[in-house]
Structure 1
Amino acid sequence: MSDRQATLDWLGDPAVFKVNRLDAHSDHRYYATVEEAEAGAPMKMRHSLNGSWSFHYAANPSSRPADFHAEGFSTAGWSTIQVPGHIQLQGWGQTQYVNTMYPWDGVEALRPPQLPEHNPVGSYVKEFDLPASMDGRPVHVSFQGVETAFYVWLNGQFIGYAEDSFTPSEFDLTPHVRSGTNRLTVAVYQRSTGSWLEDQDFWRFSGIFRDVYLYTTPDIHAYDLEVRADLDETYRLGTLSASLRLAAEAPAGSYARLRLRDPQGAVVAESAALPLDGARASAVLDAGEVQPWSAELPRLYSLLVTIHAPGGELVEAIVQKAGFRRFELKDKLMLLNGKRIVFRGVNRHEFNSRTGRAIGKEDMLRDIRILKQNNMNAVRTSHYPNQTLWYELCDEYGLYVIDEMNLETHGSWQKMGAVEPSWNVPGSLPEWRDIVLDRAASMVERDKNHPSIVIWSCGNESYAGEVIRSVATYFRERDPSRLVHYEGVFHDREFDDASDMESRMYAKPADIEAYLSDDPQKPYISCEYMHAMGNSVGGMHLYTELEDKHPLYQGGFIWDYMDQALVRKDRYGREHLAYGGDFGDRPTDYSFCGNGIVHADGTVSPKMQEVKFLYRSYRLTPSRESVAIRSVALFAGTGHLELVSRLLRDGVILHEESAGLDIGPGEEASVPIGLPEGSMDAPGEYVIEASLRLRDDQLWADAGHEVAFGQTIIRVEPADAAEPSLPAGEVSVVEGDVNIGVYGRGWQALFSKQAHSLVSLRYGGRELVETPPMPLFWRASTDNDKGTGMPFTHGAWLAASMARRCAVWELTQEAGTATVAYRYVFSTAPGVELSVAYTVRADGTIRVRTAYKGAAGLPDLPILALAFKTSADLGETRWLALGPEENYSDRSHGARLGTFSRAVADLPSRYLVPQESGNRTGVRRLDVLDAEGKGFAVSAASEPLECNVSPHSAMELENAAHVWELPPVHFTNVTIAARQLGVGGDDSWGAPVHPQFRIPSDQDYAFEFILGPSQD
């Protein structure tokens, strides 16, 4: 097609989505020698064009350099840009985050396929010298990812046009490439018809953001290779089918050979010479009894394909990894190799906080190791095909993949949460059918050889209709070895046949149970659940418990893997992680991009502690005599693990032992442990802990990595269970007009009749109370709290925390003690009373008894606590509690009882928006210390407590939208609670915390603790 035929009209025409683009094909690599192929060496027949390109940015097509592709056009004065990379992250245009709405909503009134007037254009120029090895040979260019539409010229000649940001677009350069220097020019438009199909919940970028390379091919070239490694009905015997599609008809007498090696390198099957009949060849190899592939045992075979010229000369060598597995739907169950699979999965965007979706191998390796280390076995590629390397790593490391095509039209059918598909695309509109089917084919043809991919997905949140049904039909006809997924049929059951499974987003556990209990016709997965925005993932166990209750419940995928936050500098040049709106982007959905169980810098968030535990494959229940182990693994035994058992008393390790294991998949066993005789005779709280750890290094973790644990807590009471006696000695009381002083040897406490609290506590002359303990009913709102409207519905408790009135105070003295008690009332919580009694004892410890009297008609309590401030010099903590990471009443299954230490500065979690974080449940003892280990301790007097120690108060956190808005640290804030509301996580836009994790305000509560000096 000549240059004159290239037109901007293509951008807004759904019928034009590729011009001169080559057909999609498999992502196999090919070489000139067998040695290179088997070594997986870099391809010599590729030449990278990554790096620095000349660049011009135009805000609109009218201001672009229209003739920049012409030979002789000077780019003097142009800037340079790095490829791969996003335009918006390299200094041009507007970085923008939106979720469901289209990015031009409210700016321009558009309906598909109209395009906004504001359509930034990036003009790229790359001069390259044609490699000598390509001179005189066919030359093609591959763009692995360009967002969203682009035109290509070489040496002034129009080459082609393509859309679809997330699958390769390749073009033949051969007619116009020349020896020596060549000039490749690319015009990238941010908006096109593809923009209506790419309304994903992510940052809206543009540019050449994946690799670009030239490639040549041998004289006889396998343009496409398809390999299917299937199992028979016994799941033991393997058959490998391979088919080749050549770039051109091969000369008569050309042939191919196939050789299959097992994971250990032994040859298990070979073919005879296969005549290359025209442009195709195929063969079937009987592999005999094989080692099946699974995420637990990702055993890969190597298929060597050699292509030979008529005289026998080797022309091309290919090594394609293959995994023998069978994924099928049988008796309404999804089965892998004959066994019911449960997806313990997560949704994952490709993301890096500095480079956006332009990620590299190190990003992928980090991600896959984190997934494996935390017991995840599945990934949904939300919501577009990923780079080829990701699938290769999933094959190798072992992850099940839902491969999702690049389709989301969320804003066309859902407006502010309401389903309103009046102008939905693609719907059943015939003009959108081909562009959507092309995206499906581009994904399947590239990715079809990866055993990790078990399900094709028709895209995300695009409602329903005939177009998506046609995609599902295409998937099934093209590849019957995989199942088909699409959640959107939930909104229109006329198109229920578009999905092989019932897939829902953010359904509550009760709703899932209702489906599973009503004669379901399909297995169920939650393609998105546990919306992990900010401090979330509470109640996840209510979902994972369904695995054992309902066979047709086959798991889910957490939303999502990583916060989509970008590094930005503030006005003072300091870097921080920023979210929507921080770049001046409007419209925006602000911090809704922060939904990850991993922080945007790639570090694991505290939420992962719960995920790892609930996704474990081994359930451990220790007792005094043994550890009961139940394996829910499907294929892997325990030969790679060792069992480490420990006995602790009041947090101190008394005994540790290890043992090997030999438990088969799905089996249960009891492993004896040898606790020393009499080791649990003394009074105290004992923990018997069992831990399964890697015996040897694995690809994804080092030896010693813990994969699962279990604990049993046993309380041994003293033989004489009488009330412990008071410390010996007397206290001295001085009652003044305003204050009440209580004194002893080396300590003093001061209570105020005016401030109505403990106002001073000194041990060894050091003041520990900077601001007095006061009732606290409010926690800094979490993202989920805001989503349920808690700041509006529960605001009375915020006001009650800010101000109260002391109705009565009282001083009483007994032998060896003095008690000062206060009773508070609250204007915004009529009928509620909170009494706090401080009993000072001769050793300087204070027993604090708190009693809450409830009242009807008030919302649930966010927290029931006392809070005070101490000096920021007390910046270290030591805990005997559930930990080591933060935990809450509905997110504590993954926490363990033990002793751990942490700096106060490190206790709050680094959520994008400051909010409640850092809580620990099951607190037996908490020490707040200075650098020399001196300070004070809080000990549970009866029932364990919940505690939070933070550099910032709840009110400071409540009033900050970013971490950099928090004031400088002057205090250590200590919150001692009877209970705190769970964090929830079913969703972040209205789902309440489950009832069992709430605090009804009309009930009475009491808690008590002992405040005293720390002990070394």
Structure 2
Amino acid sequence: MGHTKPNLDWLQDVSVFRVNRLDAHSDHRYYSSLASATAGLPMDMRHSLNGSWQFSYAVNPASRIAAFYEMDYNCAAWEHIQVPGHIQLQGWGQAQYVNTMYPWDGLADLRPPHISQEHNPVGSYVKHFDLPAHMQGKPVYISFQGVESAFYVWLNGEFVGYSEDSFTPSEFDLTPYIRDGVNKLAVEVYQRSTGSWLEDQDFWRFSGIFRDVYLFTVPKHHVWDLHVKAELDDRYENGTLKVDLALWANPSAPVHALLELKDAAGRTCLTGKSEFQNGRLEVMAEAGRVQLWSAESPYLYSLCISIVDEHGELVEAIVQKVGFRRFEMKDKLMCLNGKRILFKGVNRHEFNCRSGRAITKQDMLWDIQTLKRSNINAVRTSHYPNQTLWYELCDKYGVYVIDEMNLETHGSWQKMGAVEPSWNIPGNDPQWQDIVLDRARSMLERDKNHPSILIWSCGNESYAGQVILNVSNYFRETDPSRLVHYEGVFHNRKYDATSDMESRMYAKPADIEAYLQSQPAKPYISCEYMHAMGNSVGGLHKYTELENKYPMYQGGFIWDYIDQALVKKDRFGREYLAYGGDFQDRPSDYSFCGNGLVYADRQVTPKMQEVKFLYQNYKLEPARTHINIVNESLFTGSGHLVLEYSLYRDGKQIGLWQTNVDVEAQNRISVPIELPPMEEVPGEYCLQASLKLKEALPWAEAGFEIAFGQKIVAIQALAGRTLPSGALKVVEGDVNIGVMGKDFSILFSKQVGSLVSIQYSGREMIAVPPAPLFWRATTDNDKGTSFGFTAGAWYAASLARKCAKVELQQTPETATVSFEYTFSIHSELRVRTAYTVYADGSVRVHTTYKGAEGLPNLPIVALSFKMASEYNQSEWYAMGPEENYIDRAYGARLGIFSSPVEQLPSRYLVPQESGNRTGVRSVKITDANGLGLMIKADPLAPVECNVSPYSAFELEQANHHWELPEVRYTVITVAGRQMGVGGDDSWGAPVHDEYLIPSHQDLEFEFYISEIAVKE
């Protein structure tokens, strides 16, 4: 652009976004020897500048040290900062989380492209480095892989350049300024710039040099840009390799490229030699029959390129991974290698709870393995290009990618959910065209060689207009091998041509069906759906059930992968995961950053149990005589898997079998099985089937379960229940009713209106008496539907009730004490709980809820009581092992699971209802010695149960886990029914009707309490 003297005006000049920045190019690796290239070693022509830099922080440009870059300025007394890393996470400024609004909303009266002069933190970085010996006498460049959001660069006091776009590389030529020996590199980073108007993503607002910085040199003949196109014929069998090479400079002497394509075993498939003409080389070669790349089978070839000078000497070696695949729109369907693709996807931010978006290779490896282990086959890079390594891992492990350019202007057109594009950018404003197109070009040129990338995305939530439509056309013209995505045209259909597919956010299943039934012109994906905030992902099955019903439904991407929560210390020095507002950041969107299937500290949440099941490619349908296996994979059979099936009686395994199965892709088979007779021994028989890896893969060990299915195949009842024998003593006092027997004493209080004591062998089991419960600690989704406002009457009804009647009934073998409760919220509402005591000390608890018209839906119908906190161990025969709810139980399996009570609540950012189990046949609550209570229900009428150190009301009042009280009790909640958790969105989408509890419906449930006297 011709600028040689830096100017602060560039920060708010739409036309200035790169000064002396080198053109974007492919991210291929190059070496001085083919052996180094083949071994995948660190690049020998790079020199990392990561590590400790000297640093000075200023709250705004006026207070910065303007001359710090000059050679005679001594910054020896400065503090130090780590690169890569965010300024705000290393002791300067403050982290701020906002979602749709711009972070300066209400603090500065601004419209684009202007920025505040008062609120624009500046980080001044200095790095002294010795020029490595192998770079002396050669051209030297510098690469900044990611700097937020704008920065100026000086070397040895000379201005080098300026750049915006936080998430793609910025590279500069240092050759004119570099010296042998010590060099002074100075970088001035501004948090706010014109680019900030284009980076209004739903994330923490940081700044600084947060990705790698390195020097690099090039040999005398260097491939600056490489474009590999691995194409397929119309039968998807034979491959054609097209290779375009561009040298950094046009050589006068002849330069040749030797090309060799090798398969995964290292065998040579084709070779060739060509000469560059005017610094460019285009080669096309037939590769014959090739192995295809897909997420199911990510087969990669290696293209070895040797650049040879006029003397026949090797000057540069490149090994580029190549995947043969074709992605196309075919008969209004998105197809990979000729097959209709289904995106079983997730949106993913780059995030680490300690370092923010400065993530490591270890973080990425953990993520990619977690995706593969959870049957997630696709990622949308929300909402910016990721580090190069991420795409290399997606190529290698097999993950489909929507690569999204760094564009989101959410706050310019949507205010508190209302579409109001009066000052939307970029819209149709041509002055924004170049800066936006630069971001698209930087992404495409860097990432174009990755087979995992199937779709380019024009950004996120920036409304619509000619500028983005032009970007879409740029993608199509430059790279016709991929499709183009953009969701924002949903709000303005005039620009519908921007997106090749219909893409929507948080459309409800019925809305998607309506679209698919309208004879649409484009296939459908949900670029965001199933808002996984807190306790969520209920009803996911309603989306996945569309997959086989409508061919033009091609899947979606759950929002999102990982909680964006940051480690912080409380006043006592204890670490916790903090969210927006915890850093005194205002404005803030508080806990809305917690939407992950994975906790911020990279532990999997219980929600993933459901995702893994509903995303599995192999469907298992066990029955008593056979197991049906449906292989919905597009390309791979089941030869790498073994079928394992088990028979359980009352949760205990009584048989285990294995067999090999061969189910081709897109086929189904029925595997006959023989189970032992079940008629002779009473119990509940459950058949579970799994497909497990025969051998280890890079992302999972041998024996890892890929898919499972289960079916209860028989319930053999006892011939007839025999009442326990023995004597009962019943004492009806003026206030209390006592029922006593051998080694037990049970007391009911007319005054309290409940069971008040169960003593087994002199040990008290009841710390706080049972009471009807209609309230659950509101989930994030409940809050989004204003459930506390609409259903708050049930909170009141749970706090207080009136015992209207106490009755005692006796038989020779039993004593039954019943309590009938009325409630202030409605005169007709009744709950009756009857406790029947048997001679062995067991108690049948039968609760009847009689509803009333005109009340809001119920959160839960339950009975809740407390035990002393030393009863802190649990063992379940129920659906598990992770928590589950009536609308999120497909991924749960019936079995016996155990857990300390303190680990039963889930670690969602805001304390809320969690830890529930459906299908509860029994749960034991014991102390360390195995003594305690068992709660048991009929397998034909199981209950739901929650065991927690905290009551619903304690959870309700806490905004953070550190606000919860010290543990005093173990809280037992047994429910006839709890409403679902929902998840279509978290700002108003109700739980689906079939998972609600209408207040007028009568409901009853029953369970037994008994003693656990010895440790089993």
- TM-superposed deviation, 1:919: 0.1
Q: Which residue of 2 aligns with 1:755?
A: 752
Q: SS at the partner of 2:57? A: strand
- TM-superposed deviation, 1:989: 0.2
- TM-superposed deviation, 1:1001: 0.4
Kept in 2: contact 1:618–1:631 (CA 8 A): yes
Q: Which residue of 1 aligns with 2:835?
A: 838
Q: How does 1:231-630 map onto structure 2 within 5 Å?
A: 231-271=232-272, 273-630=273-630
- TM-superposed deviation, 1:730: 2.5
Q: How does 1:169-180 map onto structure 2 within 5 Å?
A: 169-180=170-181
When the two structures are superposed, what TM-score results if normalisation uses the length of structure 1?
A: 0.99
- TM-superposed deviation, 1:679: 4.2
**Structure 2 unaligned regions, length at least 5:** none
Residues 156-213 of structure 1 deviation map (CA, whole Å, 9 limit, x = unaligned): 0000000000000000000010111100000000000000000000000000000000
Q: How does 1:78-157 map onto structure 2 within 5 Å?
A: 78-116=78-116, 117-157=118-158
- TM-superposed deviation, 1:270: 1.1
Determine which of 984, 987, 997 is the counterpart of 2:985: 987
Partner AA of 1:585 in structure 2: D
Q: Distance in 2 between matches of 1:313 and 1:852?
A: 88
Residues 422-477 of structure 1 deviation map (CA, whole Å, 9 limit, x = unaligned): 00000010110000000000000000000000000000000000000000000000
- TM-superposed deviation, 1:684: 1.7
- TM-superposed deviation, 1:737: 1.2
Determine which of 988, 1011, 1014 is the counterpart of 1:1013: 1011
Q: SS at the partner of 2:291? A: coil
Q: Distance in 2 between matches of 1:377 and 1:985?
A: 21
Partner AA of 1:852 in structure 2: Y
Residues 603-641 of structure 1 deviation map (CA, whole Å, 9 limit, x = unaligned): 000000000000001000112222110000011111111
Determine which of 778, 798, 806 is the counterpart of 2:803: 806
- TM-superposed deviation, 1:719: 7.7
Q: Which residue of 2 aligns with 1:958?
A: 956
Partner AA of 1:810 in structure 2: E
Q: SS at the partner of 1:5? A: coil
Q: Distance in 1 between matches of 2:624 and 2:851?
A: 42
Partner AA of 2:1009 in structure 1: L
Distance 1:815 1:687, change over 3 A: same
Q: Distance in 2 between matches of 1:856 and 1:300?
A: 64
Kept in 1: contact 2:678–2:714 (CA 8 A): no
Partner AA of 1:713 in structure 2: I
Determine which of 722, 738, 745 is the counterpart of 2:742: 745
Q: How does 1:41-52 map onto structure 2 within 5 Å?
A: 41-52=41-52
Q: Which residue of 1 aligns with 2:697?
A: 698
Distance 1:656 1:114, change over 3 A: same
Partner AA of 1:740 in structure 2: I
Kept in 1: contact 2:623–2:713 (CA 8 A): no
Q: How does 1:9-20 map onto structure 2 within 5 Å?
A: 9-20=9-20
Partner AA of 2:135 in structure 1: M
Partner AA of 1:744 in structure 2: G
Q: Which residue of 2 aligns with 1:202?
A: 203
Partner AA of 1:188 in structure 2: V
Kept in 2: contact 1:539–1:986 (CA 8 A): yes
- TM-superposed deviation, 1:680: 4.8
Residues 489-527 of structure 1 deviation map (CA, whole Å, 9 limit, x = unaligned): 000000000000000000000000000000011000000
Q: Which residue of 1 aligns with 2:927?
A: 930
Q: Distance in 2 between matches of 1:124 and 1:716?
A: 71
- TM-superposed deviation, 1:372: 0.3
Q: Which residue of 2 aligns with 1:686?
A: 685
Q: Distance in 2 between matches of 1:322 and 1:426?
A: 36
Kept in 2: contact 1:805–1:825 (CA 8 A): yes
Q: Which residue of 2 aligns with 1:637?
A: 637
Residues 726-762 of structure 1 deviation map (CA, whole Å, 9 limit, x = unaligned): 2112210111111111000000100001000000001
Kept in 2: contact 1:880–1:897 (CA 8 A): yes
Determine which of 995, 1002, 1005 is the counterpart of 1:1004: 1002
Q: SS at the partner of 2:1009? A: strand
Q: How does 1:849-998 map onto structure 2 within 5 Å?
A: 849-941=846-938, 943-998=941-996
Kept in 2: contact 1:3–1:158 (CA 8 A): no
Q: Distance in 2 between matches of 1:760 and 1:477?
A: 77
Kept in 2: contact 1:650–1:684 (CA 8 A): yes
Kept in 1: contact 2:678–2:716 (CA 8 A): no
Residues 325-356 of structure 1 deviation map (CA, whole Å, 9 limit, x = unaligned): 00000100000000000000000000000000
Q: SS at the partner of 2:933? A: strand
- TM-superposed deviation, 1:279: 1.3
Q: SS at the partner of 1:44? A: coil
Distance 1:4 1:517, change over 3 A: closer
**Higher mean displacement: 667-676 or 120-129:** 667-676
Kept in 2: contact 1:524–1:553 (CA 8 A): yes
**Structure 1 unaligned regions, length at least 5:** none
**Matched pairs, number:** 1012
Kept in 2: contact 1:3–1:157 (CA 8 A): no
Kept in 2: contact 1:148–1:194 (CA 8 A): yes
Kept in 1: contact 2:686–2:711 (CA 8 A): yes
Partner AA of 1:747 in structure 2: F
Q: Distance in 2 between matches of 1:3 and 1:997?
A: 63
1:792 counterpart = 2:793: no
Kept in 2: contact 1:61–1:121 (CA 8 A): yes
**Higher mean displacement: 806-815 or 760-769:** 806-815
Kept in 1: contact 2:126–2:187 (CA 8 A): yes
Kept in 1: contact 2:21–2:162 (CA 8 A): yes
Distance 1:153 1:2, change over 3 A: farther
Residues 887-917 of structure 1 deviation map (CA, whole Å, 9 limit, x = unaligned): 0000000000011111101100000000000
Kept in 1: contact 2:624–2:713 (CA 8 A): no
- TM-superposed deviation, 1:681: 3.7
- TM-superposed deviation, 1:1014: 2.2
- TM-superposed deviation, 1:725: 2.7
Kept in 2: contact 1:638–1:663 (CA 8 A): yes
Kept in 1: contact 2:638–2:661 (CA 8 A): yes
Distance 1:63 1:719, change over 3 A: closer
Q: SS at the partner of 1:88? A: helix
Residues 839-863 of structure 1 deviation map (CA, whole Å, 9 limit, x = unaligned): 1111101111100111000001000
Q: Distance in 2 between matches of 1:247 and 1:924?
A: 71
Q: SS at the partner of 1:549? A: coil
Q: SS at the partner of 1:546? A: coil
